[in-house]
Amino acid sequence: MDTPDRIAKLFSDCKEKGRAAFVGYVCACDPDFNTSLQISRSLIDNGVDLLELGVPFSDPLADGLTNQLAAQRALESGCRQSDVFRLVSEIRSFSEVPIVFYTYYNLIFSQGVEEYVGRAMDAGVDGLLTLDLPPEEAGELVDSSSKVGMKNVFIIAPTTPEDRIPTIVEKASGFLYYVSREGVTGERKDLASDLDRRIEAIRKYSDLPVVVGFGISSPEQVGAVGRVADGVVVGSALVNCISENLDEPGSIPAAIGARAGSLVAGLGPG
């Protein structure tokens, strides 16, 4: 099947411009479907290059409190799996920005792996980042994905031994996600001191772009990571815009767009 590789095109374009890609994370349907759609549009309009959509899940083990509460709000608003696919379809009506699902394997497996991948591809999803699926057990998902051009993003952590990196990159496609901090998601005040060394170690084993996330929350941090990585992921700093404005939901898209714009500016011109 001939499908557009939006992810490869994005990183190629960013490389030509001499800058890193900005990846923005929000939970789909937080705080509700219509506001989430407006949030997605605002993020894209304010410079987000790749949209990472969290798929609401009742037991999000890798997420800190900010993103746990986002998933809870989405589920309490009545969000179903079909709504998440519908959200992507609606975004595709106005944007070709790459979209990656940040999800957990039970949500994929319970629907049937091949069926889920097909639905995601039909909606316009470009990649799946399945947080709790180790590459050794990802054969069925990777095979189903490769048939239709879906990318599979895998995480490399600070605790990952270097001799394990080849096992991870063998199954990965689209890009690699380096978690800059141990633990769960959430804003941090400082960056890991060995970030450039860790990214160099990953690049010895793969030509895939390396994006860095978990804990990045200021324009200065975005700039610092963008100088050594191919992409910078910001999540909690954006999601907090939603929780901070729940008493006035209509203000959320503008607020989150403004914050995204200020963070993207940390990458400088390009």
Find the mean pLDDT for residues 227-248: 95
Catalytic position from the list 2, 45, 59, 63? 63
Q: Which residues pair with 153 in a beta bridge?
A: 129
- Statement: residue 100 has pLDDT above 70: yes
Q: Which residues pair with 101 in a beta bridge?
A: 53, 128
Question: Worst-scoring range by mean pLDDT, 1-5, 62-66, 119-123, 251-255?
Answer: 1-5
The pLDDT assigned to 68 comes to 86
- Statement: residue 188 has pLDDT above 50: no
Locate the domains of the chain by residue range. Answer: 6-265
Find the mean pLDDT for residues 89-103: 98
Find the mean pLDDT for residues 220-229: 95
Q: Which structure tokens are listed for 107?
A: 């949500």
Cα torsion for 132, 135, 139, 140, to the nearest 10°? 10
- Statement: residue 187 has pLDDT above 50: no
- Statement: residue 77 has pLDDT above 50: yes
- Statement: residue 57 has pLDDT above 70: yes
Find the mean pLDDT for residues 173-202: 76
Find the mean pLDDT for residues 55-76: 84
Find the mean pLDDT for residues 99-107: 96
Is 52 designated active site?
yes
Q: Which structure tokens are listed for 172?
A: 């990965």
Nearest to 99 by CA among 24, 29, 171, 32: 24
Q: Which residues pair with 100 in a beta bridge?
A: 52, 127
Find the mean pLDDT for residues 71-87: 95
Find the mean pLDDT for residues 41-47: 98
CB proximity list for 181: less than 8 A, separation 6 or greater:
158, 188, 192, 214, 215
Q: What is the pLDDT of residues 133-183, one digit of tens each?
A: 999 999 999 999 999 999 999 999 999 999 999 999 999 999 999 998 654
Is 163 designated active site?
no
Categorize the per-residue pLDDT at 1 as very low, low, confident or very high, splitting at 50, 70 and 90. very low
Distance between CA 215 and CA 100 in Å, rounded?
A: 19
**DSSP E strands, the chain:** 21-27, 50-54, 99-103, 127-130, 151-156, 176-179, 210-213, 231-234
The pLDDT assigned to 175 comes to 98
The pLDDT assigned to 184 comes to 46
The pLDDT assigned to 62 comes to 63
Catalytic position from the list 30, 49, 52, 126? 52
The pLDDT assigned to 215 comes to 84
The domain made up of 6-265 is a member of CATH 3.50.50.60: no
